[in-house]
Amino acid sequence: MIFRNPTTLHSPLASYSHQAEISNRAKWLVLSAQIGMSKDKVVPEDIYEQIEIALDNVLLNLEAAGMKKEHLVKLVFYFVGSHDIERRRNIVHHKLGEHQPCMTVIFVSGLAAPSLKVEIEAWACSEFENQDDLDDADE
């Protein structure tokens, strides 16, 4: 998997990549949008806590599929209301480190419940490393 930012485009506005190229047979994981709700069904009022929990939920989904944050290809953030962009970027950077998947941020008037202020869709991909992985995927 190759992430790149073509020199013919403007540089990314934050920690993301313009492109993700996957050229081999691969295992894809597509997540339903993850919300800022903990396992015990608590949704904090604070949008930044919701962002952290939603990102943790993305990472927990990756782990359940045998994947890592480096396998994230694209994240789509849906936000209700305004927030401090730099604070959001710092949270994302804290969770993802130096990994910079493709990203989109969309502001909406509402989500599935009034208490929800963020949803994060995620796509992940891991390339098969050997023939056994390919054989297992074909079964």
Map out the domains of the chain with their CATH numbers: 25-138 (3.30.1330.40)
Return the pLDDT at 130: 59
Asked if 19 contacts 102 with a C-beta cutoff of 8 angstroms, the reply is yes
- pLDDT 10s per residue in the chain (139 long)? 787 888 887 787 777 788 777 777 889 999 989 999 999 999 999 999 999 999 999 999 999 999 999 999 999 999 999 999 999 999 999 999 999 999 999 999 999 999 999 999 999 999 776 555 555 554 5
Per-residue pLDDT at 93: 96
Q: Residues, the chain, total?
A: 139
- Assign residue 25 a region: left if phi > 0, alpha if psi is -120 to 50, beta otherwise? beta
Buried b (16+ CB within 10 A) or exposed e, 15-27: bbbeebeeeeebb
DSSP for residue 68: -
